Amino acid sequence: MSDYTFSFGPWNIHEGADPFGPPIRPTIAFAEKIKLFKGMGFDAVMLHDDDAVPDIDQKSSAQVEQEAAKLKAMLDGEGLVAEIVAPRLWEDARGADGAFTANDQATRQWAIERSKRCADVCRAMGTDLMVLWLAREGTYVREAKSAIKSHRYLIDAINAILEHDPGIRIAIEPKPNEPMDHAYIPSIGHALAIAHQTADPVRVGGLIETAHSQLAGFDASDDMAFALQAGKLWSVHLNDQNGLKYDQDKSFGSSNLRAAFNQVRVLEEADYVGSGGMVAFDVKAMRTQPAALATKHLTNSRQIFLHLVEKVRTWDRNLERQCIDACDYESLELAVVEHLMGV
């Protein structure tokens, strides 16, 4: 039994399609996916607004309430809680060139109204945390948008959501690119700077995804530490990335074990779990994984995380102190690597 609460989203169990090939595994119905969580060691579910209420844009407020309540009852029945709800603005054709930062004012208004409804879904699902992954808030061509106006549109949108629901908190999930060529808010630094410009900065924080930090050229554990010291790390998407390429959403610790150790080390140091933070794995199964085995990326990530919690908790702090006092970082590094190798 871990003191950590683990979460993933229904999109993390998927058919294996990629930009170069169609689905390769059968679709598992959402209701069937929900039944898998507890047995895999997960107690929380990440949701998009249209996971909770399909075709949400076509639904009345009453229908949104009703369908969200039905899902909440389903989660309750499985002993699961909703960790977060995120407005999925990037799949709708209207959001093709950005939603909050679209050049078209009507699209910006659609994005704000959709996000207000997402806040209603958060409430109905029993969570106060909305995640904004600003997927298409950026440009393919710099000159296609005013970056100055775009950042102000983002602040206006967040302010509208905060005003709509005085109890909602918003975690901005930064990512430097993909699907856009360049995305606004590429780092946690940008995210928390925007948070401080909003009408209620206390209610705006961050979510850090391992691979997004790596793609931005940063160390995920230092990014986490930056947010943690400010009391602004409200969720994490742990995964991994094998070099600077497309967002791989690899199992946590699968490529960069030392970096994963340091992510767990900083979460432990800050008592992230004591602050109520949950650990989500935003990971995808390899296309080659057979359908019957296409949840191992999630259970492997959780297992590796728990192994690393043990490694952090059994790390020789006296030896660390001695090496630091002697400024003998070569010995410190060997000790860390040998500890991770189980030597």
DSSP 250: B
Measured from the CB atom, the residue of 126 and 179 that comes closer to ligand XLS is: 179
104 classed as catalytic: no
CA distance 273 to 267: 8
The distance of closest approach from Cβ of residue 180 to ligand XLS in the complex, given in angstroms and rounded to an integer, is 13
Helices (H), 20-78: 30-34, 49-52, 61-78
The distance of closest approach from Cβ of residue 216 to Mg ion in the complex, given in angstroms and rounded to an integer, is 13
At 274, the amino acid letter reads G
The distance of closest approach from Cβ of residue 143 to ligand XLS in the complex, given in angstroms and rounded to an integer, is 27
CA distance 56 to 64: 7
> Which two structure tokens, joined as six digits, stand for 273?
């779990």
Of positions 50, 67, 137, 209, contacts Mg ion by CB under 5 A? 209
51 classed as catalytic: yes
Of positions 100, 133, 153, 226, contacts ligand XLS by CB under 6 A? 133
DSSP 327: T
Window of 68-76, 154-162, 230-238, 312-320 that interacts with Mg ion by CB under 5 A: 230-238
Q: Decide if 283 contacts 42 (C-beta within 8 A).
A: no
Measured from the CB atom, the residue of 207 and 336 that comes closer to ligand XLS is: 207
The distance of closest approach from Cβ of residue 236 to Mg ion in the complex, given in angstroms and rounded to an integer, is 9
Of positions 49, 98, 282, 298, contacts Mg ion by CB under 5 A? 282
Residue 282 binds ligand XLS, judged by CB under 6 A? yes
Residue 173 binds ligand XLS, judged by CB under 6 A? yes
CA distances 319 to 79, 165, 177, 315, Å, are 42, 50, 41, 9
> Which two structure tokens, joined as six digits, stand for 167?
């109890």
Q: Decide if 208 contacts 220 (C-beta within 8 A).
A: yes
Put residue 305 in one of left, alpha, beta given phi > 0 → left and psi -120 to 50 → alpha: alpha
Residues in the chain: 343
Which residues, 195 to 224, sit near ligand XLS by CB under 6 A?
209
Residue nearest to ligand XLS (CB): 133
Question: Which of these is catalytic: 51, 120, 240, 282?
Answer: 51
Measured from the CB atom, the residue of 237 and 297 that comes closer to ligand XLS is: 237
Measured from the CB atom, the residue of 71 and 312 that comes closer to ligand XLS is: 71
At 112, the amino acid letter reads I
Which residues, 82 to 101, sit near ligand XLS by CB under 6 A?
86
The distance of closest approach from Cβ of residue 284 to ligand XLS in the complex, given in angstroms and rounded to an integer, is 9
Helix, strand, coil in percent for the chain, rounding step 5:
50, 15, 35
Query: Which does residue 86 bind out of Mg ion, ligand XLS, none, counting CB within 5 to 8 angstroms by kind?
Result: ligand XLS
How many residues contact ligand XLS, by CB under 6 A? Answer: 8
Residue 298 binds ligand XLS, judged by CB under 6 A? no
CA distance 336 to 260: 13
**CB-facing half-sphere around the CA of 88: CA atoms within 13 A:** 16
Measured from the CB atom, the residue of 47 and 68 that comes closer to ligand XLS is: 47
Contacts to Mg ion by CB under 5 A: 209, 237, 282
Task: Give the residue numbers annotated as catalytic, written as ranges.
Answer: 48, 51
Contacts to ligand XLS by CB under 6 A: 48, 86, 131, 133, 173, 209, 237, 282
